[in-house]
Amino acid sequence: MTEEGTASIQHDLRIFSGSSHADLAKEIAQYLGCGLCPSKTMHFSNDCLYVQLGDSVRGKEVVIIQSLCRDVSHHVMELLMMLDAARSASAKTIHAVIPYFAYARSDKKDQPRISITGRLIAELLETAGANHIMTMTLHSPQVHGFFGLPTDHLTADRVFADYLRQRDLSNAVVVAPDIGHAKRAAKLARDLKIGVAAGDKERLADDRVRINGIIGDIKGKLAIVFDDEISTAGSMMALVDILLKNRVERVILACTHGVFSGPAIERLQGIDQLDEIITTNTVPISEERRLPNMTVLSVAPIFGEAIRRNILGESVGSLFAFWPENECES
């Protein structure tokens, strides 16, 4: 970043963090050569939320960073109030940076009388005052269409590829957990110049799936299972079980969002053939839930660069998820 670009950003930019992931927000701010602006969040005695931005934002580019992780409802409400506060204080542009968009899985009406909550949250963000959204690796690409305002759907795939290239991949294959994620897995496999396979998955419940088989050659190989998120690890356990039955040599699990809820950590600890769990810091992972074979990669430079390019009016196309290779940037 040039000195002129840094000075311009520092003059125009105000970065605030919600309470969900202050460490990632600090990393993003450091990438941009800025400090985090102060803010205050508290509960009244009746449990109503109080939010106040601690710096003037009038005429400024405001970035509010909030991952929608546990406690999701609290963090959604806090983000909405921060957006509304920035709009009411005459911010020039309000960028909502949401590294993990929790409700992305609620992307269709597959049962009667339920909400498509991913779309609802997208509409609430716009109503609250966001002018622009940045998020990463939504559960499915069509969720991007829920947003009625400019939205940068970023990817961490390059971070995974750069990290995995440090290993011996001569006998490795990338495995998508299901056909729906095969395209993303195939892109990583091309980057790494290795083969790709996919599971034939059927979801039975929120934490239970059935893997009917594997499409592709995996026998005797190092299987790199590549998914968007690991929540309870129910899907991973079913997939790893079928991979081992098909005689893979070893397993690496890689996911953008390491939610690791419920029994996930205990389940993953029980896989003897698991070489490594690779995830990113879109969701905070406490030290007590970090296994010895877990690697957490930072996405702060990706979000920092996307913010920088937006404010300076530069293209962000190369940072997008699902961006076709060898195609002109937007």
Dihedral sign computed on CA atoms, order 252, 138, 200, 190: negative
Domains 3-155+300-319 and 157-297 share a fold: yes
Mean pLDDT, residues 54-74 taken together: 97
- C-alpha to C-alpha distance for 44 and 42, rounded to whole angstroms: 7
Is it the case that residue 324 has pLDDT exceeding 90?
Answer: no
Q: Residue 328: its pLDDT value, please?
A: 41
Mean pLDDT, residues 237-253 taken together: 93
Catalytic residue among 60, 187, 201, 221: 201
Q: Residue 213: its pLDDT value, please?
A: 78
Q: Residue 262: its pLDDT value, please?
A: 93
With cut-offs at 50, 70 and 90, classify the pLDDT of residue 157.
Answer: very high
Is it the case that residue 319 has pLDDT exceeding 90?
Answer: no
Q: Residue 281: its pLDDT value, please?
A: 98
Q: Residue 71: is the preceding peptide bond cis (ω within 30°)?
A: yes
Is it the case that residue 325 has pLDDT exceeding 60?
Answer: no
pLDDT in tens, 2-42: 555 566 677 789 999 999 999 999 999 999 999 999 999 99
Q: Residue 64: its pLDDT value, please?
A: 98
- Enter the CATH code of domain 3-155+300-319: 3.40.50.2020
List strand residue ranges (DSSP E) for the chain, in order.
13-17, 39-43, 49-53, 61-65, 93-98, 132-136, 151-154, 172-176, 195-205, 208-215, 222-230, 250-258, 274-280, 294-297
- Least confident segment among 60-74, 120-134, 179-193, 255-269: 179-193
Fold of 157-297: Rossmann fold (3.40.50)
Ordered by start, the domain boundaries in the chain are 3-155+300-319, 157-297
* Residue bearing the bigger pLDDT, 184 or 254: 254
Is it the case that residue 136 has pLDDT exceeding 70?
Answer: yes
Q: Is 201 annotated as catalytic?
A: yes
pLDDT, the chain, mean: 91
Q: Residue 329: its pLDDT value, please?
A: 42
